[in-house]
């Protein structure tokens, strides 16, 4: 079977936005809440407080997003919900009125599409919430409710709020705020398929699927793909699976997953012993212990061998998300760790995803702290922003950085060198060490001798030609470079 994935994703640079925290609209809009008591924008985020970010605010910032070089946005959930993160869905057909409702979303979607920016929504289809109408009916009417077998009811009475009593229904990871759907019920399955189709018809460009591994009903994700792709063959389907995802990436289900198997080793190599362990321990990815270049090369090659190349090119690669601490905090505030990780991200096959604020050095520990409000310009780390701008521009300029083959050329000590090979050849080097690193490497595999420094700082010299060509490359401490053909 020939695997097909959406072509646009191979050329996409994603920006992940947590809608409550990115921007509040500054324009006069018709709102349900006029005198809302939002939390102070710059105060530390809390589990239950709202900052009042909305979709109009995001629309007003599309110039900034576009100027950064972004051409795709992934939104964490936007549907009506009684939580600031909106993973507790009340109504899958209504955009949260606090965000501006369906009208604001349509306006934003059209504005994004006018700029050739794709929009992917978060689909939370494993569980709903206590406020979801069908579950609410069960709470009101008990065993008399017509919706009883839409959920995993175990016995009566249900206790949705009283912690000392058994919930008596299945909730995601035992959380009674998140009643799980009974996906074996054909009515539930059809309901979710229709939601997926509805928003694709509305104009969204894909779905990011929350905890899809929890849905074990045979054929569920195959049908989901068939029905979404029937509406839009170029729609992107990406699953939140943190580990080995081969069972979902066989070409019949997802186009890619959130590639935490790239995230962990990349931070472990670039940040090394600077990683603050309490920010990463007990999480589902391992940015520790520190890795040397040879170990990093091995791990990256293992990741690249897990899936077919067509799938590798549509993986969603990331350094942080709403589910992790932010990179700046993980690295103990060390800017070179952030810059080196970003260089590795933006030169890797697959679609890079930048978590809003990471491009300006926003710190934040494990959630809710990783969900801070986008900072005022006075607090931006301009060097980190410039690094992002430069690297995004280079990725968009050179097709080899997007779809070229990935070949490790040299990995010793803390110096890692690889090539991206397409119609052009580029060499990328990262020195994660604290002193100047020099490589003298025989490189018979390249057709050309990239010697022009496109990014960073390095001394380059080539000796010999063809089978006997040797690269001599010196890279300053805690820095990286990209070489092209001059």
pLDDT tens readout for residues 268-305 = 999 999 999 999 998 899 999 999 999 999 999 999 99
> Tell me: the pLDDT tens digits for 71-81?
999 999 999 99
140 is catalytic: no
CATH of the domain at 374: 3.20.20.80
For residue 34, what pLDDT is reported? 72
Task: Report yes or no on 174 lying in a domain.
Answer: no
Please tell me whether residues 369 and 474 are part of one structural domain.
no
Task: Report yes or no on 163 lying in a domain.
Answer: no
Looking at every residue in the chain, the average pLDDT score rounds to 96
- Which residue among the candidates 96, 122, 210, 255 is catalytic per the annotation? 210
Please tell me whether residues 121 and 222 are part of one structural domain.
yes
From 345, 378, 397, the end of a domain falls on: 397
Q: Name 461's bridge partners.
A: 472
**pTM greater than the 0.95 cutoff:** yes
For residue 165, what pLDDT is reported? 96
Taking residues 190-204, report their average pLDDT.
98
Count of C-beta atoms within a 10 Å radius of residue 119? 18
Please tell me whether residues 352 and 458 are part of one structural domain.
no
Contact 62, 28 (CB under 8 A): no
For residue 191, what pLDDT is reported? 98
From 357, 375, 397, the end of a domain falls on: 397
Distance CA 256, CA 239 (A): 6
Please tell me whether residues 100 and 248 are part of one structural domain.
yes
**Alpha-carbon distances of 2 from 5, 172, 307, 309, 422, rounded to whole Å:** 10, 35, 13, 11, 22
For residue 33, what pLDDT is reported? 72
From 378, 397, 416, the end of a domain falls on: 397
Please tell me whether residues 435 and 288 are part of one structural domain.
no
Is the pLDDT assigned to residue 402 strictly greater than 80? Answer: yes
Is the pLDDT assigned to residue 1 strictly greater than 90? Answer: no
Residue % of the chain over a pLDDT of 90 = 95
Contact 402, 350 (CB under 8 A): no
Please tell me whether residues 391 and 432 are part of one structural domain.
no
Please tell me whether residues 385 and 418 are part of one structural domain.
no
In the structure, what pLDDT confidence band is assigned to residue 414 with cuts at 50, 70 and 90? very high
The number of folded domains in the chain is: 2
Taking residues 229-249, report their average pLDDT.
98
Please tell me whether residues 370 and 414 are part of one structural domain.
no
Q: Which of 342, 327, 341, 384 is nearest to 360 (CA)?
A: 384
Task: Report yes or no on 160 lying in a domain.
Answer: no
Q: Name 426's bridge partners.
A: 420
Task: Report yes or no on 152 lying in a domain.
Answer: no
Distance CA 347, CA 342 (A): 9
Please tell me whether residues 449 and 330 are part of one structural domain.
no
107 is catalytic: no
> Tell me: the pLDDT tens digits for 129-143?
999 999 999 999 999
Query: Which run of H or E residues covers position 152?
Result: none
**Alpha-carbon distances of 320 from 72, 297, 352, 370, 376, rounded to whole Å:** 17, 21, 11, 9, 20
Provide the domain limits for residue 300: 7-126+181-397
Please tell me whether residues 91 and 51 are part of one structural domain.
yes
Q: Left (φ > 0), alpha (ψ -120 to 50) or beta: where does 204 sit?
A: beta
For residue 75, what pLDDT is reported? 98
For residue 96, what pLDDT is reported? 97
- Which residue among the candidates 20, 54, 180, 240 is catalytic per the annotation? 240
Distance CA 79, CA 454 (A): 43
For residue 37, what pLDDT is reported? 84
Please tell me whether residues 205 and 256 are part of one structural domain.
yes
Task: Report yes or no on 315 lying in a domain.
Answer: yes
Taking residues 194-206, report their average pLDDT.
98
Please tell me whether residues 445 and 340 are part of one structural domain.
no
For residue 433, whether the previous peptide bond is cis, meaning omega lies within 30 degrees of 0, is no
Distance CA 211, CA 237 (A): 13
């Amino acid at each position: 079977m020939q695997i097909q994935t959406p072509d646009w994703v191979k050329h996409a640079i994603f920006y992940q936005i947590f809608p409550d925290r990115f921007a509040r609209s500054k324009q006069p809009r018709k709102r349900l809440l006029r005198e809302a008591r939002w939390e102070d924008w710059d105060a530390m985020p809390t589990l239950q407080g709202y900052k009042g970010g909305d979709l109009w605010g995001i629309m007003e910032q599309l110039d900034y997003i576009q100027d950064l070089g972004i051409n795709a946005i992934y939104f964490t959930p936007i549907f009506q919900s009684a939580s600031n993160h909106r993973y507790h869905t009340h109504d899958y057909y209504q955009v949260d009125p606090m965000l501006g409702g369906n009208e604001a979303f349509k306006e934003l979607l059209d504005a994004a599409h006018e700029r050739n920016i794709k929009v992917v929504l978060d689909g939370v289809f494993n569980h709903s919430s206590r406020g979801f109408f069908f579950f609410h009916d069960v709470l009101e009417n008990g065993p008399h409710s017509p919706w009883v077998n839409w959920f995993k009811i175990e016995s009566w009475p249900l206790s949705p709020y009283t912690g000392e009593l058994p919930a008596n229904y299945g909730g995601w990871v035992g959380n009674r705020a998140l009643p799980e759907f009974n996906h074996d019920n054909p009515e539930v399955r059809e309901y979710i398929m229709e939601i997926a189709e509805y928003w694709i018809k509305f104009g969204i460009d894909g779905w990011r699927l929350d905890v899809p591994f929890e849905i074990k009903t045979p054929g569920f994700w195959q049908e989901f793909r068939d029905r979404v792709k029937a509406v839009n063959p170029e729609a992107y389907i990406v699953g939140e699976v943190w580990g080995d995802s081969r069972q979902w990436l066989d070409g019949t289900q997802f186009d890619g997953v959130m590639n935490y198997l790239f995230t962990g080793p990349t931070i472990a190599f670039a940040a090394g012993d600077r990683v603050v362990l309490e920010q990463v321990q007990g999480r589902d990815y391992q940015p520790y212990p520190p890795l040397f270049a040879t170990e990093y090369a091995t791990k990256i090659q293992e990741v690249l061998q897990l899936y077919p190349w067509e799938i590798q090119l549509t993986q969603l690669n990331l350094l942080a998300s709403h589910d992790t601490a932010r990179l700046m905090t993980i690295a103990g505030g060390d800017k070179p760790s952030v810059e080196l990780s970003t260089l590795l991200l933006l030169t890797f096959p697959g679609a890079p995803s930048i978590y809003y604020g990471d491009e300006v050095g926003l710190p934040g520990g494990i959630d809710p702290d990783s969900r801070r409000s986008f900072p005022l310009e006075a607090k931006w780390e301009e060097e980190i922003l410039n690094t992002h701008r430069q690297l995004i521009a280079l990725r968009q300029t050179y097709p080899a950085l997007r779809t070229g083959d990935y070949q490790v050329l040299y990995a010793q000590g803390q110096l890692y060198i690889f090539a991206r090979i397409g119609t052009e050849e580029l060499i990328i080097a990262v020195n994660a060490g604290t002193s100047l690193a020099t490589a003298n490497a025989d490189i018979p595999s390249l057709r050309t001798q990239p010697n022009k420094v496109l990014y960073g700082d390095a001394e380059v010299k080539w000796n010999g030609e063809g089978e006997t060509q040797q690269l001599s490359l010196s890279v300053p401490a805690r820095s990286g470079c990209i070489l092209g053909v001059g």
